[in-house]
Amino acid sequence: MAGVLHIVGAGIAGISGAVAATAAGKRVSLYEAAPQAGGRCRTVSGPDGFTHDNGAHVLLSANHAALGLIERIGARDAWIEPEPQGLPVYDAGTGALARIGLSPWRWLRRDQRPPGLSLTDLPRLARLAAPLADRSIGPLFAGSALHDHLVEPLTVAVLNTPVARASSARMGQALRRVMRPGGARLLVAQNGLGPDLVDPAIAWLSQRGVALRTGARLREIGVEDGRAAALVFAGKTITLAPDDTVLLALPPAEIGRLFPQIAVPESFEPIVNAHFSLDPALPATAAPRFIGLVGTVSQWVLVRADHLSVTVSAAEEYASDNPERLLARIEEEIAPALVAAGLSCVIGEQRRLVKEKRATMTQNAGGAIFCPVSPLRGLAIAGDWIGALPATIEAAAIAGSDAALALAGMRP
Ligand SMILES: Cc1cc2nc3c(=O)[nH]c(=O)nc-3n(C[C@H](O)[C@H](O)[C@H](O)COP(=O)(O)OP(=O)(O)OC[C@H]3O[C@@H](n4cnc5c(N)ncnc54)[C@H](O)[C@@H]3O)c2cc1C
C-alpha cells in the first residue's frame, strides 16, 4: 500500500495540503505543536469567555484556492459579503464616509469611486497592476489623493508592510486577480475562523480517517540515505516507512532551524487587533459589517453581532504601546465611524488587545521570492511565505495543496 503523507504544521498551508492529499486518495497524518489547529488563523477564547478571532481575516472572491478549500470542507455558505454596496470608508479628518468599490470597474459608478480620483491616477494604477519591475508603492502615488484614501489602506491590508517600501510586484499579483470579473468581492467568516474554517476542515479530515495530533512539536528530522527516516517530536518519534513522505507546513524560522541551508524570510511585520464586546448584541441582520478608517491608528473594523474587532496592520509603531492606552484610543476613534456607518452599538465590558508580532513576513520592494524547495527526497515545504503572491491565506492554501499533490506524484 502507498505510504503515508506526514504533514507537520496545521495552519492553513498544512490543512490545505491535508485536504488536497486526502481528496486525492492519500493516507495523511497531521501534527501540530499548538493545542489547536489554525496557526495564525484561529479563534481565541479567554478565561473570561470572551471569544473572537486572533485578528479579523478577510478573503476576496479572487482567492480561488482558499475558497476552493472552504467549498470542499462544506463551509462556503458561512463566508459572506458584509458590504455588497462598496466598502464604507470613514475619513477622520473630514468626518465623511464614502463607499468605495474594490474593483476599478465599479468606479464607473460615481457613488463607488474613491474620493479624489483623477484622470492622472489611472496610469499609475495601471502601472501598479502591470507585471513590471518591482518598486516601492508609495512613491508611485506621490501627490495623489488616492494615496491616502485607497492605495495606502489597501497596501497595508494586503501586504502588511508600510506603503513607502511595500512591493509593487506582489501587490500587482493580487490586483491582477482582483480585477478579473467577479474577483473583488470582500468576504468574511460569519461566525469566525474556528467555526467557519478550521473546525469544519478538521471535522472533514477526521471523517476521512485523518487524525490531528496536537501538542506535537517537531524537534528534529532523522535522515537516512537522503530521505527523512524519522520525525522526532517532543516525547515521541515516528519512524517513517521508505514510501512515506513529509510536508513541513511550518513558519520560516522553523524551516530555517531544521534546514539552515534553506533561505527563509528573516524580517516580519506585526498586526495588532483590538477586540471589544458589544452589549447588547446587535440584531443578527445588522452584522457582520466591515468599515475602513483613514487618518486614525485603526484601519478596519469588523463588526459581528456580539463583538467588534479593529485591525492595525504594519503596526511596528504600536506593537509595544501600553495595551490599555491603545485600547482606549482605538475605542474613541472608531465611535464616530460606527455612527457614520449607521451602526448604533454599545461597547461592553470585555476588551482584549492581540499583538501578532510576526503576523506576516515583510514584503518590501526588491524582496526575495521564496521558492518551494525539497531539501530531502520525499520531503517538501509549504507556507504563506512561499511564492510571489502576498503572504495571505490564499498563498498558504496554494503552497500547501501544491506541495502535497507534488509529493503524491500528481503535480510536477
Ligand atoms: C492578525 C492577522 C490578520 C491577518 N489577516 C489576514 C487577512 O485578512 N487575509 C488573509 O488572507 N491573510 C491574513 N493574515 C495572514 C494569514 O493568517 C496567514 O497568511 C496564514 O494563516 C498563514 O498560514 P500558514 O499555514 O502558512 O502558517 P501558520 O498559520 O503560521 O501555520 C504554521 C503552523 O505550524 C505550527 N508549528 C510551528 N512550529 C512547529 C513545529 N516545530 N512542530 C509542529 N508544528 C509547528 C504552528 O503552530 C502553526 O499552526 C493575517 C495574519 C494575522 C496574524
Asked whether residue 202 falls in the same domain as residue 255, the answer is yes
State if residue 39 touches ligand 1 by the CB under 6 angstroms criterion.
yes
Q: What global pTM score does this model have?
A: 0.97
Domain boundary among 145, 170, 186: 186
Q: Please indicate, yes or no, if residue 283 is contained in any of the structural domains.
A: no
Q: pLDDT exceeding 70 applies to what percent of the chain?
A: 100
State if residue 160 touches ligand 1 by the CB under 6 angstroms criterion.
no
Q: Please indicate, yes or no, if residue 377 is contained in any of the structural domains.
A: yes
Ligand 1 centroid to 392 CA: how many Å? 8
Domain boundary among 186, 206, 226: 186
Ligand 1 centroid to 336 CA: how many Å? 33
Asked whether residue 179 falls in the same domain as residue 205, the answer is no
Q: What is the pLDDT of residue 368?
A: 97
Distance CA 28, CA 21 (A): 7
Q: Please indicate, yes or no, if residue 289 is contained in any of the structural domains.
A: no
Ligand 1 centroid to 113 CA: how many Å? 33
Best residue for ligand 1 mutational test, from 57, 63, 186, 357 (most atoms within 8 Å of Cβ)? 57
- Mean pLDDT for the stretch of residues 284-312: 96
Asked whether residue 156 falls in the same domain as residue 225, the answer is no
The band of 118, judged by pLDDT with boundaries at 50, 70 and 90, is confident
Asked whether residue 22 falls in the same domain as residue 148, the answer is no
The residue among 23 and 106 whose pLDDT is bigger is 23
Q: What is the pLDDT of residue 412?
A: 67
State if residue 271 touches ligand 1 by the CB under 6 angstroms criterion.
yes
Residue 383's domain is classified under what CATH number? 3.50.50.60
Ligand 1 centroid to 242 CA: how many Å? 30
Q: Please indicate, yes or no, if residue 153 is contained in any of the structural domains.
A: yes
Q: What's the domain count of the chain?
A: 2
Ligand 1 centroid to 116 CA: how many Å? 36
Asked whether residue 182 falls in the same domain as residue 206, the answer is no
Peptide bond into 35 cis (omega under 30): no
Domain boundary among 186, 221, 244: 186
Ligand 1, atom 27, lies closest to the CA of: 11
Best residue for ligand 1 mutational test, from 19, 29, 41 (most atoms within 8 Å of Cβ)? 41
Asked whether residue 118 falls in the same domain as residue 180, the answer is yes
Task: Judge whether residue 311 has pLDDT over 80.
Answer: yes
Asked whether residue 158 falls in the same domain as residue 211, the answer is no
| Tens of pLDDT, residues 30-66 | 999 999 999 999 999 999 999 999 999 999 999 999 9
- Mean pLDDT for the stretch of residues 105-120: 88
The average confidence (pLDDT) of the chain is 96
State if residue 269 touches ligand 1 by the CB under 6 angstroms criterion.
no
| Tens of pLDDT, residues 348-404 | 999 999 999 999 999 999 999 999 999 999 999 999 999 999 999 999 999 999 999
Asked whether residue 253 falls in the same domain as residue 137, the answer is no
The band of 219, judged by pLDDT with boundaries at 50, 70 and 90, is very high
Q: Please indicate, yes or no, if residue 82 is contained in any of the structural domains.
A: no
State if residue 30 touches ligand 1 by the CB under 6 angstroms criterion.
no
Look up the domain containing 125 and give its range. 109-186
The band of 103, judged by pLDDT with boundaries at 50, 70 and 90, is confident
Asked whether residue 211 falls in the same domain as residue 171, the answer is no
Q: Please indicate, yes or no, if residue 328 is contained in any of the structural domains.
A: no
| Tens of pLDDT, residues 151-209 | 999 999 999 999 999 999 999 999 999 999 899 999 999 999 999 999 999 999 999 99
State if residue 170 touches ligand 1 by the CB under 6 angstroms criterion.
no
Q: What is the pLDDT of residue 160?
A: 98
Distance CA 52, CA 67 (A): 21
Q: What is the pLDDT of residue 145?
A: 87
Q: Please indicate, yes or no, if residue 355 is contained in any of the structural domains.
A: no
Asked whether residue 116 falls in the same domain as residue 179, the answer is yes
Asked whether residue 179 falls in the same domain as residue 113, the answer is yes
Question: Which atom of ligand 1 sits closest to the CA of residue 54?
Answer: 1
State if residue 101 touches ligand 1 by the CB under 6 angstroms criterion.
no
Q: Please indicate, yes or no, if residue 345 is contained in any of the structural domains.
A: no
- Mean pLDDT for the stretch of residues 244-251: 98
Asked whether residue 165 falls in the same domain as residue 233, the answer is no
Ligand 1 centroid to 119 CA: how many Å? 39
